[in-house]
Amino acid sequence: MSENNDFRHEEQGYNNPENLYHFNYNEQHNTPLDPGWAEVPAAAKKPSFWQKAGVKVTALLLACAVVGGAAGYGGAALSSSGKTTIRQSNRTASEITVKQVSGQTLMSPAEVYASTVNSVVSINCSSVSTNIFGQSVQSASSGSGFIITQDGYIVTNHHVVSGASSVTVTLHDGREYPATVVGSDSDYDVAVLKINATDLQPVTLGNSSNVNVGDSVLAIGNPLGELTFSMSQGIVSCCDRAINVDGTPFNMIQVDASINPGNSGGPLMNLYGEVVGIVSAKYSSYSDTTVEGLGFAIPIGDVQAIITDIMENGQVTDKPSFGITAGTMTEQMAAHYQIEQKSGAFVYSVNKGGAGEKAGLRMGDVITKVDSTDIASMEDLTAAKKGHKAGDTVTVTYFRDGSSHTTSLTFDVKADDTVQDSQQGQQNQQGQQNQQDQQNGGNSFGSLYDYFFGRG
């Protein structure tokens, strides 16, 4: 009875409205406590299937097995996705062998590089000039070149070494040599250097006339003056591309290989390892349009005789000359003087006793072809001389009195290789030209020259 009274006190405390911690069920349902209330034990329930001890153990074991398996699978998945796996190839790399360049063995670009890089050099120049304040200013420039003989003759561009007070050549193995400029020629943009070294590996010259559009070519050089002995690859985009570099016409090999400042003077090679050109110029922009993939190289066949001449004589001694003063024929000239031929190289005068006079050329002739090369301008005529030397004979096609004629012309030796046939030569002949115009009754080829070349 005592226990029941205690329980009733607890129950009254549980249902006390003042008790903030418990819910008052009786107050909620408005049911007063029954003074005679007594706890009635709950009826015993029959154990369920899952409450049996054996089933519980078995279920526990199965659950452990399932969880363990899932954990193993998940761990494996986590291991494969949560960690970086490095895969290592076991392929054996192809061995690059150095081959003898004979012009008979087709090579991969890697083999060409390995077989010829020891023939390429880096060129660094320094020059000293005086500024407007009378102070000495030193400047530096860089370029590329290639060894042409075992005893140290090196070919590069004229513009690479022009004005240099000192020239240093660096070989692929790191050796440096002071170099002497044997000679150079601005018309061909070629120069020959000499270093005091022996047993060097020279290049093998190829035949640039065999180059075709689409041929793979390689340029090895010193781009930007610091990325020494870099190679770039491309194809020939055009053969005999006529371009004008600082007023000098060239027929170049156009390529899409990457060519940058510092590449000038380096070799352009085919896949036989032969040098087919001298990298010379790059168009980086045209007007306001930025362009890429336009590199140029001088065909080696156009300058091979010049290189030999410089090596033997220190200068170009047999530079060819037509022995005439000429300029570009234009449509305006043709219309003014009623000449049917509207393009070509117009002959202003013929040097007395020179190659042109001996060939029968006269003032007023318009040269339209040299051998099989069409001539549309004075630049074309100048370019047509390249690849020839004094004493060579060519066939000249010219327009006179309404019809075409041909003659054989044997080149003279050009006395002054700085005079352009279409510029200073014309000025030197101007006095004689004016006299001839007066004798011809005012048939003013001289005044025509004044109009088109700015003479007042």
Given pLDDT bands bounded at 50, 70 and 90, which one contains residue 288? low
Give the pLDDT confidence score for residue 66 in this predicted structure: 52
284: pLDDT strictly greater than 90: no
Higher pLDDT, 335 or 424: 335
328: pLDDT strictly greater than 60: yes
312: pLDDT strictly greater than 50: yes
Last residue of one domain, picked from the residues 166, 195, 224 = 195
pLDDT average, residue stretch 242-247: 77
Q: How many CA atoms lie within 13 A of 51 on its CB side?
A: 4
Give the C-alpha separation, 345 to 355, whole Å: 16
Higher pLDDT, 129 or 2: 129
How many domains are there within the chain?
Answer: 3
Q: Is 446 a member of any domain?
A: no
74: pLDDT strictly greater than 80: no
Q: Is 262 a member of any domain?
A: yes
Given pLDDT bands bounded at 50, 70 and 90, which one contains residue 292? confident
Q: Is 70 a member of any domain?
A: no
- Please give the angle made by the CA atoms of 45, 51 and 63, to the nearest 5 degrees: 160
Give the pLDDT confidence score for residue 100 in this predicted structure: 85
What are residue 4's phi and psi, to 5 degrees? -65, -40
Higher pLDDT, 199 or 446: 199
233: pLDDT strictly greater than 80: yes
**Lookup result for tokens 């053969």:** 239
Q: Residues 373-395: pLDDT tens digits? A: 899 988 888 888 877 888 999 99
Cβ atoms of residues 253 and 297 within 8 Å: yes
| Residue count (the chain) | 456
Higher pLDDT, 170 or 429: 170
Does residue 307 sit in the same domain as residue 209? yes
323: pLDDT strictly greater than 70: yes
pLDDT average, residue stretch 134-160: 91
Distance between terminal CA atoms of the chain? 145
Range with lowest mean pLDDT among 7-21, 43-57, 93-107, 314-328: 7-21
Last residue of one domain, picked from the residues 263, 294, 313 = 313
Does residue 214 sit in the same domain as residue 304? yes
Cβ atoms of residues 274 and 153 within 8 Å: no
Give the pLDDT confidence score for residue 70 in this predicted structure: 52
Higher pLDDT, 388 or 79: 388
Give the pLDDT confidence score for residue 163 in this predicted structure: 87
Write down the catalytic residue from 159, 185, 388, 421.
Answer: 159
Q: What is the CATH number of the domain that holds 399?
A: 2.30.42.10
- Please give the angle made by the CA atoms of 408, 414 and 416, to the nearest 5 degrees: 160
Give the pLDDT confidence score for residue 293 in this predicted structure: 81
Higher pLDDT, 361 or 384: 361
Q: Is 222 a member of any domain?
A: yes
Write down the catalytic residue from 144, 230, 232, 264.
Answer: 264
Q: What is the CATH number of the domain that holds 159?
A: 2.40.10.10
Write down the catalytic residue from 119, 141, 187, 189.
Answer: 189
Does residue 289 sit in the same domain as residue 325? no
Does residue 217 sit in the same domain as residue 302? yes
Residue 234: partners with Cβ closer than 8 Å, 6 or more residues away: 216, 217, 219, 255, 256, 257, 258, 293, 295
pLDDT average, residue stretch 45-64: 56
Does residue 127 sit in the same domain as residue 228? no
Last residue of one domain, picked from the residues 178, 195, 212 = 195
Give the pLDDT confidence score for residue 385 in this predicted structure: 84
Give the pLDDT confidence score for residue 58 in this predicted structure: 57
Does residue 218 sit in the same domain as residue 176? no
Higher pLDDT, 7 or 331: 331
Token pair belonging to 355: 């190659």
Given pLDDT bands bounded at 50, 70 and 90, which one contains residue 7? very low
Given pLDDT bands bounded at 50, 70 and 90, which one contains residue 430? very low
Does residue 125 sit in the same domain as residue 181? yes
Percentage with pLDDT > 70 across the chain: 71
Q: Tell me 341's DSSP state.
A: -
Given pLDDT bands bounded at 50, 70 and 90, which one contains residue 136? confident
Q: Is 87 a member of any domain?
A: no
Q: Is 406 a member of any domain?
A: yes
Given pLDDT bands bounded at 50, 70 and 90, which one contains residue 27? very low
| Residue 159 is a catalytic residue | yes
| Helical spans, DSSP H, in 163-280 | none
Q: Is 371 a member of any domain?
A: yes
Does residue 190 sit in the same domain as residue 230? no
337: pLDDT strictly greater than 90: no
278: pLDDT strictly greater than 80: yes
Containing domain of residue 325, as a range? 320-413
pLDDT average, residue stretch 412-434: 46
17: pLDDT strictly greater than 60: no
Q: For the chain, what is the mean pLDDT?
A: 78
- Which range of 100-114, 132-146, 410-424 scores highest in mean pLDDT? It is 100-114
Q: Is 298 a member of any domain?
A: yes
Does residue 211 sit in the same domain as residue 308? yes
Give the pLDDT confidence score for residue 271 in this predicted structure: 95
Largest CA distance in the chain: 162
| Helical spans, DSSP H, in 182-230 | none
Higher pLDDT, 292 or 259: 259
